[in-house]
Structure 1
Amino acid sequence: MASAADGAEDGPGDGDGGSAGPGAPGAPGGAGAPPRAAGAVDRSGGPFDVTEVDDPAEGGRVDLGGIWLPGVQGMELRVEMDQSSQQVVSVAAVLGQGAVQVQAFAAPRTEGVWSDVRREIAQGILGQGGRAGERQSALGTELLAEVPVRLPDGQVGRQAVRFVGVDGPRWFLRGVFSGVAAVDPAAAEPLEALFRGIVVVRGGTAMAPREPIPLRLPPQAQVDEDQQEQAPAEEGGADDAGAPARDDLKPFERGPEITEVR
């Protein structure tokens, strides 16, 4: 399994001060963005870097610290927290019987990481007895997988999931579509639009490649404490970008819940 420390550290100038900071303002994919590889996403329609938008709150986006997530009518927002650090490590937007889990990570200035991450995720799934294959879509090169899961009756079944990844200026955004959003294009469409509308706030702090960009509960969050179920750090805590965390594969497990967006 890859870890946040498996790559080389960001190059000179990637820390505070000097010429640090996310990619230069302007069109997505401009100065400061990694070179586009084959199958990479055209980011002109998102996801965006914070330097590429006038106001990240525009359109009703929710401030989650490292990302601004679009609000969609009827959406339920779930968060996963590391029990030891009490930090938010991932968020999942649920619409009906479909969901997309989102995590943002630091990445090198000069190259993207999705091609390597995609290969590592596939190897991990195949090693568990699952299935994995690639396809091209509007979100670039996706990884389609069937992941072994334990069913309520004790039998082992397979759950369909779609992994998508976008390389931005010094960040990498991963989305995991599950439920009907993994198999039904019509059901996935609003969640794909939501993913496209995300604004990433990398910040100028020096971070190791694949280190999670810190997230937080939104200021207006209303957490249901009675139903809060924090994830054990070893099972689904601060996972690196190279391997699916526990909630990547089980996004419908109950966790801290924020009231739905109406």
Structure 2
Amino acid sequence: MGIFSRKSKGESSTPEAEHESAESTLSGAADEESRGTERAATGPWDVTERPEPGELIDFGALRVPGVDGMSVRLQADSQDVIGGITIQIDQSSLQLNVFAAPRNSGVWDDVRSEVAASITRDGGVADEAQGPFGTELHARVPVNTPRGGSHGLAPARFIGVDGPRWFVRAVITGKAAVDEAAAKDLEGIIGGIVVVRGTEARPPREVLALTAPNVVAPAPATPEAKPDDFNPLERGPEITEIR
């Protein structure tokens, strides 16, 4: 019997069931503590751990460090809800999204498996590897040209970090996906993120909507080659930019 199982009216708990429930609770708490310990060494951070935003750019649910020379585009759906941001530095890009997660378990293990399966199904390649934030995916994903033609495979790194009731997904593409030196600035941004989840009850994997900082001004998106829609958590086109 799982910790969230319902029992019928009048049914009494057995010592075995109570013991199993207690073990499940302790196991979930231990897993959460372990994830928090690992994350504490690298980030991203929960707002309770870093309550002062400092020099971070405030996107609402995400507070993100700024780096010289970076540009930022906001990703919005058809309802103009901002679900993520894409940061560009030189020849490299970093896509960031944040989602709700269960209190006592992370979602990155499951999401990672789903993304890998989707990439493979679409003709790409995805392998697990250890990175500065734990297990990540090193992939080569199908890419389409602006006119819809196939353009081969492009490298990408999928990074996931489970926090207290939230999950950050980061996707690195371009030069930084294969060049450690080029990845340093983007990894530094990931490690400096502060998540402001809020206290509302939310279903797992629900996107935490972002807000545009005051420095954002509308700008047309530039057509460019994009990976196929292999990601089950993709949140829509990039529509605005800051520099």
- TM-score of the superposed pair, with normalisation by structure 1: 0.73
Alpha carbons 2:142, 2:153 under 8 Å: kept: yes
Check if 1:136 corresponds to 2:125. no
Look up the match of 1:148: 142
Alpha carbons 1:35, 1:112 under 8 Å: kept: no
Q: SS at 1:172's partner residue?
A: strand
Look up the match of 1:181: 176
In 1, Cα distance between equivalents of 2:196 and 2:51 = 13
Look up the match of 2:26: none
1:229-240 to structure 2, matched below 5 A, reads none
Alpha carbons 1:41, 1:138 under 8 Å: kept: no
Are residues 147 and 41 of structure 1, via their aligned partners in 2, closer, same or farther at CA, if it must alter by over 3 Å?
farther
Give the alignment partner of residue 125 of structure 1, picking from 110, 119, 122: 119
Look up the match of 1:243: 232
Q: How much has 1:151 moved relative to structure 2?
A: 4.1
Which structure's CA Rg is the greater one?
A: 2
* Letter paired with 1:243: P
Q: How much has 1:228 moved relative to structure 2?
A: 4.9
Give the alignment partner of residue 73 of structure 1, picking from 63, 68, 72: 68
Alpha carbons 1:125, 1:132 under 8 Å: kept: yes
Q: Deviations over 1:64-99 (max 9, x none)?
A: 01100111111101111112x111111011100001
Instruction: Pick the structure with more helix per residue.
Output: 2
Alpha carbons 1:46, 1:198 under 8 Å: kept: yes
Look up the match of 1:36: 34
1:1-262 to structure 2, matched below 5 A, reads 34-36=32-34, 41-56=38-53, 58=54, 60-83=55-78, 85-151=79-145, 154-224=149-219, 227-228=220-221, 243=232, 245=234, 255-258=239-242, 260=243
Please report the RMSD computed on the Cα atoms of aligned residues, expressed in angstroms: 2.8
Alpha carbons 1:32, 1:169 under 8 Å: kept: no
Aligned residues: 210
Alpha carbons 1:32, 1:109 under 8 Å: kept: no
Show structure 1 runs of 5+ residues with no match. 1-8, 10-30, 230-234, 248-252
* Letter paired with 1:34: E
Q: SS at 1:121's partner residue?
A: helix
In 2, Cα distance between equivalents of 1:228 and 1:126 = 29
Show structure 2 runs of 5+ residues with no match. 5-28, 223-227
Q: Deviations over 1:209-256 (max 9, x none)?
A: 0000110111232222xx158xxxxx97xx9xx725277xxxxx8631
In 2, Cα distance between equivalents of 1:65 and 1:32 = 29
In 2, Cα distance between equivalents of 1:155 and 1:243 = 20
Identity percentage of aligned residues: 42
- TM-score of the superposed pair, with normalisation by structure 2: 0.78
Q: How much has 1:149 moved relative to structure 2?
A: 1.5
Higher relative contact order structure (alpha carbons within 8 Å, sequence separation ≥ 6): 1
In 2, Cα distance between equivalents of 1:90 and 1:254 = 9
* Letter paired with 1:174: R
